[in-house]
Structure formats: C-alpha cells, structure tokens
Chains A and B, each alone.
Chain A
C-alpha cells in the first residue's frame, strides 16, 4: 500500500509561538516560509485568539488556507538546547510563492533532524576519523589537526597543486554567502588553489560563460516579467518540476490571462493578451501538459527537437527574425555591437533547421512570429527567454547559450518589462568569493586529475561525485583504489600515534594514494572513502543568506540547533585555517602561516560581515538586522542604498577589466561575479559607507539588470556572438549515438530534491522511489518484454547503471528519461567523460542500451505506473 503516516491530528502553535523567517533551502525559487516554534509542553487552540496564525481553525478550512499545516510541516526539534515543537509553513505574504509550498519545500520540517520523532537520524553529529578499520568519532581539534597536518605535508611536497578541492558554489542548503565566502577565502586568498571543482561539474567554471562573455549576466530579470510577457520562450527546462512555484505563481496566471490588469496598468500603451508559450524540449513534459491545460493547446507550441540541436533552431530563429524585419534596430544600434557579423556567421534557413532539428518549418516560422512579430499597432512583442540544464548540460554549451542570447538581444528583450534572457536555475545562489582568476580558463578538470593519480589530498565540501559527476563508473573505481591505499596505511600503525599515522599516510600518498576529507551534513557515497568526515550545519541550523532566481536576497534565521557537534561550514573553515596556521608555524614556516590569519569569526554573521558585507557590490548596505526586518521578501541584488539615503550612486559603471571593483546600481553577471572584484586581498567596496550594524532600514535593490541599456562590457555594449553549428561537439558523442539504441535523457523528478541527499532518508520519498525511474515509450518496453516497474540495466561503453521502467507515452520511440543523481542508480555512470572546451559536461546527450535485470522488485510492487501527465476534466 501507499505510504501513509497515520497521523490524525497535530498540535497548534500558540499565540506567542516564536516566528522566524525561512527561505526554502532547496530550489532556486527560494519560496518564503515561516517557522513557528514553541515549548514542547504547550500548545495553542483552534480559536483565532488561541493560535499563532490568528485564524479560526474550529471548522473545515477552505482551499489555500493560511492556517493548515500538513504533517510534513511539523516536527519536534531542539532549539537552544530545549525540545520545541516546530511548524514550517509556506508564507502567504511572500511575493515569490504567495503561500504555495511544493512537495520538496513543504517537507522542510520533516526533513529536519529530530531525536524525538526520529527524522533524519542519518545526519552527521561528530567529526569522524578512520581508526581501527572503521570511521570513529573524534574531537574537532583532533580531526581538524590531522587534516591540517596532512594538508601542510602535501603542500610542502607537491605545492598547492597537490591539494584538490571540490566545493559547492551555490546558495540554500549546503551553501550561502557565509559559507562560500569562507571556502573562497581559504582556497583563493590564503592559498591560490587552482585544482578546484564545483558540486556538479568537474572544473571550476561557469555554466553560462557564453552569456557572460557577451556582457549579459544570466539572472537579469524579475519573476514579475513572467507575468508581463506576451510570449514565454523556454528551452531545455521543465519548470513545473524544477522551478515549481515560479511556474505556478507567475507563469500560470499569465497563461490564464489573469495578469491582464497588471499588464494594462504597467504597460498602458500597447495591446495585451494572455501569454503564449513555446517550449523547446525533445520530450513532452508535465510542464507542457500543464501549459495546455491552462492556456489551451492553440497557445502552446512544443518544439520537439532532436536532442542536442537547439543551436540550429536558435540560429534559424535569429535569421528569420532579422529577415522579417522584426529586429529591434534602435536597441541594437545603441546597446549592442557585432550584430551584422553575427547575422552573417549564423545564417541558417528555416528549411535547413527543420531538417536538422526534426521540427517542421511551419512551427519554426510560427515560433519566430510568436517571439518577435510586432503586436497590433506596431508595439514590440515582449518575450521572456529562459533556459536551464537542457542547454547548460546540453550539446555545445557555450555556443548554444550564446545563440539564444543573440535572439534576446536582437529583439530588445533584456532589461525591459516582460523580457529577460535568463537561466532558470537549480539551487539558489549565494556566491561571494575572492577572485578566482588564477584558476584560468579553461579550468583544470579535477576529475581527470583524481582519476589520473594526481594530487595527494582532496577536500570535499558538500559534494558527492559518486552520484553527480560524469564518467562516474571510472571515477569511483579510481577514487576507491587511491583512498583505500591510505586506509590500509592508516590501519598499519596505532591510531594514537599521530606522528606515525601521518608518516604512513604520506608514504601511501607518495605511492599514488589519496587522503580524503569530506565535509557534509549526511553520510555520502564519496564520503564512504573519506579518512576524515566533518559534520556541517544546514540552513535553519545557522543563519544563512542566499538569493533566488530574480536575485532576491533573504536571510533564513536560525530556528534550531545543528545535530550534535555539527557546525556551520564557515566556522569549520575558520578552525581549519587556524589549524593550518599552527601547523605551518610549528613547522617553522611563519610566512605561510601568516596567510592563514583573519579567520577569527565567532559566528556565521562574522563571516557574512567579512565577506559579503565588505566585498560584494552593494554589500555595504546589507546587514543581518536589515535582512531580518525585510522578512521573506528581502530585496533584489545588487543593493543600491537604503530607504533613508535613497540610491547612493547614480548611473552605470561597467566592469572594464576582470578584477576591477564596480560600484553603483548597474550591472553585473549575477552569480560568478567574475568581473567585479579585485584580486588583491582586502580590496573591499569603496562605496559610501552606510551604518554597518544595528539599523533595520529597508534596503533598496535592483528589479532588473541592464534597465539602462548598458551591459557588462568595457564599452557598455552587449556583443552578438558568432555561433555556427558544429554537430555533436563533445568528442565521441556522435559515435555513441550511432552505436547505442536509446537516448538517455535525464533530469529531476518533482518529488526529489537534488541528489536525494536528505530525501533518501525520508519515508515518503523512499517509498515512492526506492530506485530511480527510467521513463520509456510503451512500445519500446513491449519490444524488450518489459513490464512496468521491471528493473533494467542501462549500459554503454562508459559504464552501467540501473532503474525501474515507467511507461510514458509522452516519450518518443528510442527516447528515455532517467532520474539524475539518484543514490540507488547513478545516471552519471553511463555519461562519457567528454566535455566542451571549457570543461562543461554534456550529461544530456547520452546514448545507451537497455536490458532487463529482473521483474519488479518487491519495493516497487505497490507503486503506480500511470502517466504523470495531468489532463483537464472533460
């Protein structure tokens, strides 16, 4: 039977329950929530005066009630050492989600660590060190000292290149400005580590270099633009499942026509209608089905391209728009450069594109018209262009990204209401680091170094490559072999003899072994190879700041204690830096030791003030006190002043050279912030100083980037890019396609956040997905004699993995869709090691064969294999 909690009532928060601001720490949307907590021996009542919501809960509540909490929104947790009840519920006053929760975010309470209700008991509570053939608890001082000692020894023998680092760069859980600053300061300022990679790709690079190099930061619009657009153009994204409440709360109203009043009042001098939507995707998704249910089939155009041919389609649309005379000539003249050259280089006829993409010429022409044909009376059509992993992790990432930005620039759709050319995002963002310029471009492929026996020590911060990397089969084999060498060496001497331990470790490293340090909140698969594991706190167990997909920055307040001895990553960094300082000093190297000064942070707020506040653009206006006062609505970065001062700097300053500090309410690439920060340590912002503490004035932000028509290039002009088609660009992909039957497209499921690092310990999700699923066309399943739920092997020359088969009529013949990054069947096992020239992986274009492993395992027999697709009532 389906999993049921058999909970038939929940306690009600009393009137005086403590209320904290919470931003969902899962996806990019960053929905607002409130945490209500109160002592465990008390409860409120259903009368309005007796509960924290001030609502009458005595009868059945209506739809969309602000007072209902599902069992997943409730838990008993520890706060300041006391057990407290907690309810974490969507915030109806947050402009992002207006009270909507998703299947992921609305489980935040249940996904918290509780010794009372037993949830998330897998969380790490103590530092662990490899001792006596197992991971055993250790003190912070002892475990961190061992890490520092081995790190120093490796650096002394191999230089800083011997230290390999994997570190998340995002916001939300396992991220945030506090923590990215800390790791950034350690590896980019105290050291100059260049062998570093990010959580989901093998190098330290941007997923959207293409857009940035054109002068267009990738998060340039606001969520309201989806309510104002005439047309939404979506490529390689399944937003109902991956940006859920952005889709539901901002796209759907426009598709239904219920934002017409807003359009009329904000943009009065042009005709308006309900939005139309174009979705570029090789598969039919639940997003497309929902769009059809809301807007009617006639207003939804699904361009079902052959996998990996997006660039051809975009070039043809670019060409067609120019040919029809629909380009925004005034905007092109004042705000861009290189238009004519790009038109020449990218010229692609509609017929040629139809042949390569598999989309009909008629549909391509229709798409061009929906994007750019002037509205009645000649008004410019407002089109928002958005993309995500289908482009980012698709064929020829850099050029394809650029070819889409070309369309947005040609139609004048950046910096204007109802426009934008944006990535939709995965995690929230929360990047504040010193310059990474020394890493270089292309950056090192760290996976290849690890596989190739390079380096002696690996610091891992909140990453699990065993689940979320390409070429994962080979990676795991190499990693296990190298780390095992060190484990055996450690087993050969008594654990208590630290000097002998370190000597044994170094000897193993010299022989090709690898010492692995894993910092995470839960045990991970790569962590099973680690020699030291350090337990971290997550969002809500620490104060944590991030920004969402419209650069909306908020503070999640600490509403509970971290499990056991876990602590925020930034404070772990501080301990490690101090231990490194001691280690180098003891070893007689005072010069190096001195570089590890400046980590005397007592709290995460100290790290925030040292990092974001001092170093980020507009950071001088941002403090915890002000963010707290601004609740779940926060402000949109960059900050430009305070309500008491008004915008401080006028006009726009563009980043003239990499590494320079940019001031003013202008413009920048939002995530990487590459061009906007000085490389020299301590080079802080130079804007008008604002009161740094205490005050809770409202912060003024920036609704849209580039609203003044100036872009992030030395001359302020966005540059069109030449993006000619070159087939399946990554090495070996065409051969893989030719030799394997099935496209193994891949991505997320609505139920599951990221690599299921918490979900795998949640009964509700584990019941639904004991194994990852692979959606298959029912006729293909018939040919392979597969029944729904059968366990299959997916295999090719790169490796093999497993999944259960789910018939889905929306998938074409020989096309499949597999859940990405799942613990019990890693899709990355069958992804080849080929990347683009900037080391961006190409997960999406993977081809493999499929064979049956077994009938449906017992764990999936109670599950449903009906289509995921919604149809409106007839």
Chain B
C-alpha cells in the first residue's frame, strides 16, 4: 500500500502553494464577506451572504480576477468573457464567477485564456466558463460551482449564492 500516495502527496503540496496565492489575491481585491444571516428555525437552504467582489471597471476582457466567496477560504475567479453567455451579468451579459477549487479532489485550477476554460492540474479535468461551468471532460461528479452575481447601478459586482456544493465543505456557508 505504500507507494500509492504520490499523487496525494504532491497534490497537498500543490494545494498549499497555490491556495495561499489565491487567498492573497482575494484579500487584495478587498472582498469582505458579510456574516451569514441567522435564522431560526433553520432554513431549508443555507443563507448566503452578499459579498462585493469588485467593480465592472476593474475587469479586463478574458483576464480572470481572483476572488473568494462566500468566505475567504473558498477561492474563485471573476471573469468578463467578452461574449454574452447564459447566466452572465453586467451590461454585456458576459460577467461570470466560479469556484476555482476542482470539485474532484479540490486542487486549485488555472484559467486557459485561449479557450476560456478552467483546468485542473490534479487529474486534468476541464470546465467551460462559457457554459455555466460544464465539465468538458473530467473526474468530478458535478459541474463547476458558479457564484450567482448581481451588478448594481454603480457597477459593483455582488455575489449572492452558489449553485453546487463547494469542494471541501459539508455546507457552502460554514458556521
């Protein structure tokens, strides 16, 4: 049984390295999640915070911005794709945000700008940012978690929900 853990080992190292970077980036974007709403009795769904991720003018076409949602430990990317997509927000309907933790085993993914996909160095899964995070190919048993967005009159982009369970959590909003 020894010797079967190489992927596991390297993955852990990889995660720590890249994860730390992503969190730093998120901090730089100064996204401070609000405390989750408390409700009794418990709601059937978790109550999501509303977080400001950035402003429309911060975004450059096809250059992902590091973000986090619903809290600093759940990293993701905010992207202005340049073409209108289903589920996109903003004046051009082309702004989307996704978790960047691979829903297979949680490795942080990188953005391949030439085909607008998130790709996982862990075991090669690929998710299409223009198709709601559809898994083009891969090992995850779900498509990629997308953050629900709203753009206000001032161009601020707010995240206010998630459509799949995030990797590494039994609850998208942790107590």
Contact = CB atoms under 8 A, between A and B. Distances in A.
Interface of A: 1-12, 46, 57-65, 68-73, 93, 95-103, 106-107, 110, 224, 227, 240, 244, 248-250, 252-253, 256, 258-259, 262, 286, 289-290, 293, 633, 750, 764, 768, 862-864, 866-873
B2 to A, nearest CB: 8
10 contacts: A4-B164, A9-B172, A10-B171, A71-B165, A98-B8, A101-B104, A103-B140, A107-B141, A289-B124, A764-B142
Given A98-B4, A262-B3, A866 B73 contact: no
B153 interface: no
A549 to B, nearest CB: 15
A95 B6 contact: no
Contacts of A868: 126, 136-137
A60 B168 contact: yes
Given A64-B11, A864-B134, A249 B142 contact: no
Nearest to A872: B121
Given A63-B122, A862-B86, A764 B141 contact: yes
B119 A870 contact: yes
Contact of A10 (B19, B124, B165): B165
Contacts of B167: 61, 68
Contacts of A65: 105-106, 168
Most buried by B among A68, A110, A862: A68
Contacts of A58: 174-175
B1 A93 contact: yes
B7 interface: yes
Contacts of B122: 63
9 residue pairs, one from A and one from B, having the closest CB atoms? A870-B124, A60-B73, A63-B15, A9-B171, A61-B168, A72-B141, A253-B6, A2-B134, A2-B132
B142 A70 contact: yes
Q: Is the interface of A mostly helix, strand, loop or mixed?
A: loop
B135 to A, nearest CB: 7
Contacts of A293: 124
Interface in B116-137: 117, 119-126, 128, 130-137
B164 A7 contact: yes
Given A258-B10, A870-B126, A63 B105 contact: yes
Given A4-B146, A864-B128, A871-B119, A750 B134 contact: no
B123 A60 contact: no
A810 B34 CA distance: 47
B128 A101 contact: no
Given A2-B143, A63-B14, A68-B168, A286 B8 contact: no
A6 B19 CA distance: 25
A6 B105 contact: no
A390 to B, nearest CB: 20
Given A72-B141, A870-B119, A60 B174 contact: yes
Given A62-B12, A70-B103, A873-B110, A101 B139 contact: yes
Contacts of B106: 61-65, 68
Most buried by B among A4, A68, A867, A869: A4
A281 B7 CA distance: 26
Contact of B126 (A4, A9, A64, A866): A866
B38 interface: no
Contacts of A9: 46, 165, 169-172
Nearest to A1: B132
Contacts of B73: 59-60
A58 B134 CA distance: 29
A768 B134 contact: yes
Interface string B95-123: 00000010111111010100101011111
B131 A864 contact: yes
A863 B133 CA distance: 10
A96 B86 CA distance: 41
A414 to B, nearest CB: 22
B57 interface: no
Nearest to A633: B1
Most buried by A among B128, B133, B169: B169
A257 to B, nearest CB: 9
B97 to A, nearest CB: 14
B55 to A, nearest CB: 26
A384 B7 CA distance: 21
A101 B142 CA distance: 13
A249 B6 CA distance: 8
Contacts of B74: 60
A64 B139 contact: no
Contacts of B121: 872-873
B21 interface: no
A473 to B, nearest CB: 31
A244 B137 CA distance: 13
A2 B134 CA distance: 5
B27 interface: no
B172 to A, nearest CB: 4
Nearest to B146: A4
A556 to B, nearest CB: 19
